[in-house]
Amino acid sequence: MNLNIDNYIDFYENDIKGRYITNSKILQLLNKYNPKVAGYSVQNNPIYSLSIGTGPIKILIWSQMHGNESTSTKAIFDCLSYLHKIDNTLLSSLKLKIVPILNPDGANAYSRENYNNIDLNRDSVNLSQPESILLRELYNDFKPDFCFNMHDQRTIYSLDNNKSSIISFLAPSADTEKTETEARTKSMSVISYVYTKMNKIIPGNIGRYNDDFNINCVGDSFQSFNTPTILFESGHISQDYQREISRKFVCFSLIYALEFISQNNFSFYKEYYKIPENKTQLCDIKISNIKQKESNKHKITDLSIIYFESLNSSKEIIEFIPEIKEYGNLLNMSGHIEVDFSSINETFDLNNSNIISEIIYHVNKLRNIH
Ligand SMILES: [Zn+2]
């Protein structure tokens, strides 16, 4: 299949944008697809599900089990638009059950955890939360042939040559020995295909996650129940903090995955092991040659800055607050922005947390942003 990227604008969902994606932000889009209330969150917010397609191969897809990981929710609606507007043949071979926001309380609060501060992706054995119980009930009732577990990864994830990891995948292990079970090799096969396709579009920007087994993670549990499960992680590129670019690549990955599964041939999977593993050698801003104040002298060092993501409730937007992560010899680190402070004569007390605004002032000045 050759997906024409130029046509993305034809199925891109213009009504959903940015990082702060909640039930109320998706309601209009949901209503295009006859949503059902599948259950309720701790705070009694509805958890919606969509049933799409009439085919024999069943795929359960959920996003925002971590409330602040919204990129794949946007990508799912783009993908649904593709399936309805561009290519509806897939809907006769597949039956999709989609939960766009599994953790609506976390989505409202822009938190990873649910309202009880539980990470739902560590609750697969305890099933202590209504959201975890609901997902398990959907799984038991629907009996999927595949599961897609959709997440976002932080800006720190890097690949070879410190290129950004724009999307990542994992075929979770089904046991501590990381056995290539039938279900797991099917997951690997789907990922191999998607990787081969996507690596032509964003070469060197696709990563693979560590496959240590953790039965508390939902993907590992479902894989251990012999249901092929794939973890999708939307990542970061350049200054796209609204993740409108990676959203497109996740959408394409989803469509490729659906196309491949509909063809029902999972013999090829070894390419999976060629996908580079994610490292964490990126920061949001890297500053080199900054003069660090040390009593009455100074020393020249490197500094990394990471944005803390903070919800501005009244504006309903996410703000990116710069914080110092570390300083010292950061030769192996890269930044999504890199700035050389050699020309700045000022010395900075890096132990003073208020110094960050002064540093950002110089960063902006050097980058000609006023
Ligand atoms: Zn996550």
- Separation of CA 166 and ligand 1 centre (Å): 15
Distance from Cα 171 to the centre of ligand 1, integer Å: 15
Beta bridge partners of 46: 40
- Cα(272) to centroid(ligand 1), Å: 21
Q: How far is the CA of 167 from the centre of ligand 1 (A)?
A: 13
Provide the domain limits for residue 120: 5-274
The last residue of one of the domains, among 247, 274, 301, is 274
Structurally, how many domains does the chain consist of? 2
Residues 90, 160, single domain; the answer is yes
Q: Which of 274, 290, 305 is the last residue of a domain?
A: 274
**What is the distance in A from the centroid of ligand 1 to the CA of 13?**
23
Same domain, 234 and 131: yes
Same domain, 9 and 134: yes
Q: From ligand 1's centre to the CA of 151, what distance in Å?
A: 4
The answer to whether residues 291 and 345 touch, using CB atoms and an 8 Å cutoff, is yes
The reported pLDDT for the residue numbered 1 is 58
Residues of the chain with pLDDT under 50: none
Q: Distance from the CA of 132 to the center of ligand 1, in angstroms?
A: 14
Which of 240, 274, 308 is the endpoint of a domain? 274
CA of 240 relative to ligand 1 center, distance in Å = 19
Q: Do 17 and 36 lie in a common domain?
A: yes
Give 66 Cα–ligand 1 centroid separation in angstroms: 5
204 CA distance to ligand 1 middle (Å): 22
Are both 171 and 23 inside the same structural domain?
Answer: yes
Does one domain contain both 118 and 22? yes
Say how many Å lie between the CA of residue 65 and the centre of ligand 1. 7
Ligand 1 centre from 67 Cα, in Å? Answer: 8
Q: Which pLDDT score, from 0 to 100, does residue 2 have? A: 60
Asked whether residue 200 falls in the same domain as residue 341, the answer is no
- Pair 16, 46 in one domain: yes
Same domain, 18 and 142: yes
User: Is this model's pTM higher than 0.85 or not?
Assistant: yes
CA of 349 to the centre of ligand 1 (A): 35
* 3-state DSSP of the chain: CCCCHHHHHHHCCCCCCCCCCCHHHHHHHHHHHCCEEEEECCCCCEEEEEEECCCCEEEEEEECCCCCCCHHHHHHHHHHHHHHHCCHHHHHCEEEEEECCCCHHHHHHCCCCCCCCCCHHHCCCCCCCHHHHHHHHHHHHHCCCEEEEEEECCCCCECHHHCECCEEEECCCCCCCCCCCHHHHHHHHHHHHHHHHHHHHCCCCEEECCCCCCCCCHHHHHHHCCCCEEEEEECCCCCCCCCHHHHHHHHHHHHHHHHHHHHCCCCCCHHHHHCCECECCEEEEEEEEEEEEECCEEEEEEEEEEEEEEEECCCCEEEEEEEEEEEECCCCCEEEEEEECCCCCCCECCCCCCHHHHHHHHHHHHCCCC
CATH of the domain at 43: 3.40.630.10
Q: Give distance in angstroms: CA of 153 to centre of ligand 1.
A: 7
Q: Determine the distance separating the centroid of ligand 1 and the alpha carbon of 156, expressed in angstroms.
A: 14
- Indicate if 249 and 312 belong to the same structural domain: no
Residue 145 and residue 286 share a domain: no
Q: In angstroms, what is the span from residue 355 Cα to ligand 1's centroid?
A: 32
Residue 114 CA to ligand 1 centre (angstroms): 12
Give distance in angstroms: CA of 140 to centre of ligand 1.
22
* Distance in Å, CA 370 to ligand 1 centroid: 35
Specify whether 77 is located in the same domain as 112. yes
pLDDT at res. 4: 62
pLDDT digits (tens, 9 = 90+) for 106-164: 999 999 999 999 999 999 999 999 999 999 999 999 999 999 999 999 999 999 999 99
Ligand 1 center from residue 74 Cα (angstroms): 15
For position 297, what pLDDT does the model report?
87
